[in-house]
Copies of this chain bind each other. A is one copy, B any other.
Amino acid sequence: MTDFFKGIPVVTYEGEASTNEYAFRHYNPDEVILGKRMEDHLRFAVAYWHSFAWPGGDPFGGQTFDRPWFGDSMDLARLKADVAFEMFDILGAPFYCFHDADARPEGASFAESTRNLEEIVDYLGEKQATHKTQLLWGTANMFSHRRWMSGAATNPDPEVYAYAAATVKANMDATKKLGGQNYVLWGGREGYETLLNTDLKAERAHAGRFLQQVVEYKYKIGFTGTILIEPKPQEPSKHQYDYDVATVYGFLKDFGLEGEVKTNIEQGHAILAGHSFEHEIALASALGIFGSIDMNRNDYQSGWDTDQFPNNHAEKALAFYEILRAGGYTTGGTNFDAKVRRQSLDAEDLILAHVGGMDTCARALKAAAKMLEDGHMEAARATRYAGWQTSAAQAMLEGSLETIAADVMARNVNPEPVSGRQERLENLWNRYV
Is A138's beta carbon under 8 Å from chain B? Answer: no
Closest 10 CB pairs of A and B: A303-B303, A250-B250, A343-B420, A353-B423, A166-B405, A158-B393, A166-B408, A201-B286, A246-B247, A165-B404
A289 CB, nearest partner CB in chain B, Å: 10
Is A309's beta carbon under 8 Å from chain B? Answer: yes
Chain B residues lying within 8 Å of A147, measured Cβ to Cβ, are 414-417
With known contacts A166-B404, A423-B353, A62–B196 Cβ distance under 8 A: no
User: Who on chain B is nearest to A363 by CB?
Assistant: B430
User: Who on chain B is nearest to A254 by CB?
Assistant: B253
User: Which of B161, B238, B381 makes the CB contact (< 8 A) with A299?
Assistant: B238
With known contacts A197-B425, A235-B302, A420-B343, A62–B377 Cβ distance under 8 A: no
Asked if residues B157 and A418 are in contact (CB atoms below 8 Å), the reply is yes
26 residue pairs of the A-B complex, CB under 8 angstroms, read A60-B236, A109-B414, A110-B413, A147-B415, A149-B342, A156-B387, A156-B388, A160-B415, A161-B393, A162-B413, A165-B401, A166-B404, A170-B405, A200-B282, A200-B283, A213-B399, A217-B401, A238-B299, A238-B301, A272-B303, A274-B274, A309-B423, A341-B420, A348-B419, A356-B430, A360-B430
Is A427's beta carbon under 8 Å from chain B? Answer: yes
> In the complex, A305→B236 CA distance in Å?
12
Number of contact residues on A: which range applies? Answer: 35 or more
Is A400's beta carbon under 8 Å from chain B? Answer: yes
Chain B residues lying within 8 Å of A201, measured Cβ to Cβ, are 285-286
16 further A-B contacts with Cβ under 8 Å, apart from A165-B401, A238-B301, A276-B300, are: A149-B417, A158-B387, A161-B393, A166-B401, A166-B407, A195-B276, A197-B420, A233-B274, A243-B274, A247-B247, A303-B304, A313-B430, A314-B315, A341-B423, A349-B424, A359-B427
0/1 interface trace, chain A 266-299, chain B, CB 8 Å (1 if under):
0000011111101100110111000000000001
Chain B residues lying within 8 Å of A305, measured Cβ to Cβ, are 59
> In the complex, A271→B301 CA distance in Å?
7
Is A6's beta carbon under 8 Å from chain B? Answer: no
0/1 interface trace, chain A 365-397, chain B, CB 8 Å (1 if under):
000000000000100110011011010110011
Asked if residues B64 and A146 are in contact (CB atoms below 8 Å), the reply is yes
Main SS at interface, chain A: helix
A141 CB, nearest partner CB in chain B, Å: 9
Is A143's beta carbon under 8 Å from chain B? Answer: yes
> In the complex, A235→B420 CA distance in Å?
17
Asked if residues B19 and A431 are in contact (CB atoms below 8 Å), the reply is yes
Is A78's beta carbon under 8 Å from chain B? Answer: no
Asked if residues B250 and A422 are in contact (CB atoms below 8 Å), the reply is no
Asked if residues B385 and A304 are in contact (CB atoms below 8 Å), the reply is no
> In the complex, A92→B64 CA distance in Å?
39
Interface centre among A160, A272, A415, A416, by most chain B C-beta atoms within 10 angstroms, is: A415
Asked if residues B301 and A302 are in contact (CB atoms below 8 Å), the reply is no
